[in-house]
Amino acid sequence: MENILSLTIAQIKLEISFFGKIVEIS
């Protein structure tokens, strides 16, 4: 359970950083 939670958090952080890069470019 804890493993899934940390994995989800890591995925969210990755999506946020990716979205931030898109915003910077445009």
- Give the pLDDT of residue 19: 95
Among 1, 20, 2, smallest CA distance to 12 is for 20
8-state DSSP, 1? -
* First-residue to last-residue Cα distance in the chain: 38
Per the structure, the complete domain to which residue 18 belongs is given by 1-25
Q: What is the pLDDT of residues 1-26, one digit of tens each?
A: 689 999 999 999 999 999 999 998 87
**pLDDT confidence of residue 4:** 93
Number of domains into which the chain is organized: 1
pLDDT of residue 25: 82
Coil, strand or helix: which one is 18? helix
pLDDT score, position 12: 98
| Overall pTM > 0.75 | no
Q: What's residue 24's pLDDT?
A: 87
pLDDT at 21: 93
